[in-house]
Chains A and B, each alone.
Chain A
Amino acid sequence: MGLLNFFSKPNPTALLRLPSGSFTMDRHGQLIVSTLPSTFPEDVAHDLGRAVMETFADARKAGLHLDKLVLQFGSLRVSARDLSGGAIVFFSPVTPISTSAIN
């Protein structure tokens, strides 16, 4: 048993800041508009948008017609609205002074 200790070395990877902004996806899964920073990986936005749309569609099949979906991560809140088959997705970092209110 012991204690493991390691510290920064040269060439550290850049830390990804939590995104703040939104993107819109059409019903065919194409990203239309985005206000997310350019450093935010497009594949993540794409996959998340599709996952949101699939979740809205699956909810309809289960008899739950949803208008809005909110994903509460430990330090990020992602909210999405159904846009007639497409979706608009908002990112809000959760800080100690932010709230988790949805309307």
Chain B
Amino acid sequence: MYGEILGQLSTKPEIHKANNGARAMAMLDSEPFHLLICDLKMPKMDGLQVLSVVRRQHPHLRTVVLTSLVDEQFRSRVYALGVDLFWQKPGSEQEIKQFLECIESLLGREGSVGFRGVQSKSLVDLIQLECISHSSSVLRISNGIYTGSIWINEGELIDAETEDARGEAAFHKILSWKAGNFETLPPNRDRERRILQSYNALLLENAQAQDEAYHDDASWVAGNNPNLSPQLAPLARYDGVEFVVVAQGTNKDKFESHGIEAAEKVAAWTRTSLARFRPFADRLQAGPLEQIEAVNQERRLALAEQGDTEFCVGWRASVKAESLVPRMKKLLSLWVS
């Protein structure tokens, strides 16, 4: 039935069917696909188990859950796995139409990714390219768990937005991210204009601000820990941080630290602890392990990873527990990978 419904898609995608999760995963391994649609209730492996594996093994595959199971907990868990869309099985013509529009949009978005050829360029290069060529687009930038968007209409910067900033403030914040992924989305010509300066003026302002920040970091390092690397300095001086240990790669001797004496032992403990609890994400079907927090009478600790880099951060005891997750997210975004 749903095969017929999906056959109504105007882009006429090639549709393959699998009658269980294991078969679907085997098919995904054997050839490239754009989109996976799956139910939650399935034979052999349930949908959460399948999606947990698929999201890890095929991170660029668009994923949709289509289910009759209406439960807020399962919806939350599905989105926690990074699934693009959770959709209750449509019950009317109108719902079928909306469902197909969403699928079309997901397929279109996948098809419109246009940055593969310019991945070596910086975000500044990319903005200049868009503005000089009088293009119209929305740049969607992701940096770890952060995302931001920049609206460009006919070569003019119109607006920018991040989780907690709008307009020029958001633009500067996005440009401060040292790494990330870019995606171009179709233009939105109705976007309200919040950025009034020219792109040249804003890029110049941003370059000056980053230069000042670099010199601030450099003088702080000189006064506190002359051996501190430029990578670690912004983390070490972050408000509320007592110490930082950063372990990179699989080499147990490769770590950097600030503010702690037994850093080698803490680096080893960090690696072991993250590795120890990571497999429980699948066993509990609870979404990825985002962070480990620990408390003692002196301070709070937070352990997290970004790519193959693992972090243990000691926070002052006065730092509120509920602020640890957002603080760690901000801190990790300062790390230049």
State the Cβ distance, A30 to closest chain B Cβ, in Å.
20
State the Cβ distance, A36 to closest chain B Cβ, in Å.
12
A38 / chain B contacts, CB cutoff of 8 Å? none
B28 / chain A contacts, CB cutoff of 8 Å? 4
In the complex the two chains form, is A64's CB within 8 Å of B301's CB? yes
In the complex the two chains form, is B321's CB within 8 Å of A103's CB? yes
Q: Restricting to A61-103, which residues have a CB under 8 Å from any CB of B?
A: 61-76, 78, 93-96, 99-103
Q: Is the interface of B mostly helix, strand, loop or mixed?
A: mixed
In the complex the two chains form, is A17's CB within 8 Å of B73's CB? yes
For A58, the closest partner residue in chain B by CB is B269
For A96, the closest partner residue in chain B by CB is B76
B43 / chain A contacts, CB cutoff of 8 Å? 9-13
- A63→B283 CA distance, assembly (Å): 30
In the complex the two chains form, is B321's CB within 8 Å of A6's CB? no
Q: Restricting to B1-50, which residues have a CB under 8 Å from any CB of A?
A: 2-3, 6, 13-20, 23-24, 27-28, 31-48
Encoded as 1 (CB less than 8 Å from any A CB) or 0, chain B from 249 to 279 comes to 0000000000000100110110011001100
State the Cβ distance, B268 to closest chain A Cβ, in Å.
7
In the complex the two chains form, is A6's CB within 8 Å of B24's CB? yes
B73 / chain A contacts, CB cutoff of 8 Å? 17-18, 75, 93, 95
Q: How many residues of B contact A (CB 8 A)?
A: 75
In the complex the two chains form, is A4's CB within 8 Å of B48's CB? no
Q: Restricting to B70-97, which residues have a CB under 8 Å from any CB of A?
A: 72-74, 76-77, 80-81
Instruction: For A74, give its contact among B34, B262, B273, B287 (CB under 8 Å).
Output: B287
For A12, the closest partner residue in chain B by CB is B41
A44-B283, A64-B269, A69-B292 known; A74 vs B80 contact (CB < 8 Å)? yes
Point out residues on A near B: beta carbons under 8 Å: 1-19, 44, 47-48, 51, 54-55, 58-59, 61-76, 78, 93-96, 99-103
Task: Pull 26 A–B residue pairs with CB atoms less than 8 Å apart, ordered by A.
Answer: A2-B16, A2-B34, A3-B16, A3-B33, A4-B27, A5-B6, A5-B36, A6-B23, A7-B66, A47-B280, A47-B283, A58-B272, A59-B294, A63-B265, A64-B266, A69-B295, A71-B280, A71-B292, A72-B325, A73-B290, A74-B286, A75-B77, A76-B287, A78-B284, A95-B72, A95-B73
Point out residues on B near A: beta carbons under 8 Å: 2-3, 6, 13-20, 23-24, 27-28, 31-48, 66-67, 69, 72-74, 76-77, 80-81, 107, 262, 265-266, 268-269, 272-273, 276-277, 280-281, 283-297, 301, 321-322, 324-325
